[in-house]
Amino acid sequence: MSESLGWGIVGTADVAQQVASDLRLLDSAHLAAVCSRSADRARAFADEHGVANSHGDVDELLADDAVDIVYLATPHSAHSTLAIRSLEAGKHVLVEKPLGIDAADVAKVADAARTAGRFAMEGMWMKFHPYYRALIAEVRSGVVGDVVSVRASFGLPFGAPDAPLWSAELASSTLLDQGIYPVTLAYDVLGAPSAVHASARRRDDGVDLVDIATLHYAGGRFAQIAASMVGYLEPTASISGVDGWLTIPPPFWATDRYTRHVGGIRDALMAPESVAFSREGFGYVPMLRAVSDAIADGLTEHPTHTLAHTLAVAEILDDIRRDAARNPDLQEATP
């Protein structure tokens, strides 16, 4: 492997475009190849980003010696399968979230990574943002005292009903695409819940459009999460404790700041303190740098977002899905 890690991107949609652009900002990595089911799209993407190698077949990219690590920006249904194929081909892999469509799927990727001895991670970029790392550090240091609740929502009306985002065949899911961010935040702050109560609005083909859940913890602590792909839900988050609370502005998963509300009641209400950080590129740079550095150091996982953490969040998502299936409150046919 060269000193500059060679990345191969599978997929050419918006996320792939942003990752490709952010890779240009790294000295430790470069975009070496791109792959799409359409050779023409792959070539156009490669030309746009100044890349020599383009492929119309995944196996071609996996055989490309210039590629050290594969970034998978494909539909959910292909994530685990392509991740395992990449690992078996001797490549490291970073997978656009979710790593798998359920916990069993995630476990298969984790097993394949350990067998191959290659780096594997879910692309949970939120966890690598400077604001997020500082936020979690403050919470753990006790800035708001003992945490009693987390609230986070991610609701944005995405695309037309016949867009790929809405495809049952491609494992489209509001919970997996949007809800994973609030659940990850809740897990980082409170850990695994003792109980889950959830509702969901689904299409007749099973694609979930809205997901609402309360995660319950010992001592009366709780997390409230909500996600929607058919309407706005204020995309903010907050962490509340006995000594104050922290608020994260929209979009909470990709912002560059948060606000402290601490001290006595008057100070908490009337004298909040904003904490801001610089932003690099589209926001993927910190994660891409961390992954590149981890691989250079010989690591097969990154301590900030391990495979065990990914599996734990996947198990919570499974619990939300199962409980929502038992709760008819939001179940209704949609056009």
Compute CA 293 distance to the chain's CA centroid, rounded to the nearest angstrom.
20
Ordered by where they begin, the domains of the chain are: 5-124+283-300 (3.40.50.720), 127-281+314-326 (3.30.360.10)
Percentage helix, strand, coil for the chain under 3-state DSSP, each rounded to 5:
40, 25, 35
The pLDDT of residue 164 is 60
Give the phi and the psi of residue 3 in degrees, each rounded to 5: -65, -35
The alpha helices in the chain, defined as continuous H runs, are 14-23, 39-48, 58-62, 79-88, 103-116, 130-141, 174, 180-190, 265-270, 285-296, 307-326
- HEC letters along 130-186: HHHHHHHHHHHHCCCCCEEEEEEEEECCCCCCCCHHHCCCCCCCHHHHHHHHHHHHH
Q: How far apart are CA 258 and CA 279, in angstroms?
A: 13
- Counting as low any pLDDT under 50, the low residues of the chain are 1, 333-335
7 contact partners, CB below 8 Å, separation of at least 6: 23, 29, 30, 31, 32, 67, 68, 69, 70, 71
Q: Share the mean pLDDT of the chain.
A: 94
The pLDDT of residue 1 is 45
What is this structure's pTM?
Answer: 0.95
Classify residue 37 by its DSSP letter: S
The pLDDT of residue 329 is 61
SS3 for 253?
coil
Half-sphere exposure of 176 (CA within 13 A, CB side): 27
The pLDDT of residue 330 is 67
The pLDDT of residue 333 is 44
The pLDDT of residue 334 is 44
CB distance 280 to 14 below 8 Å: no
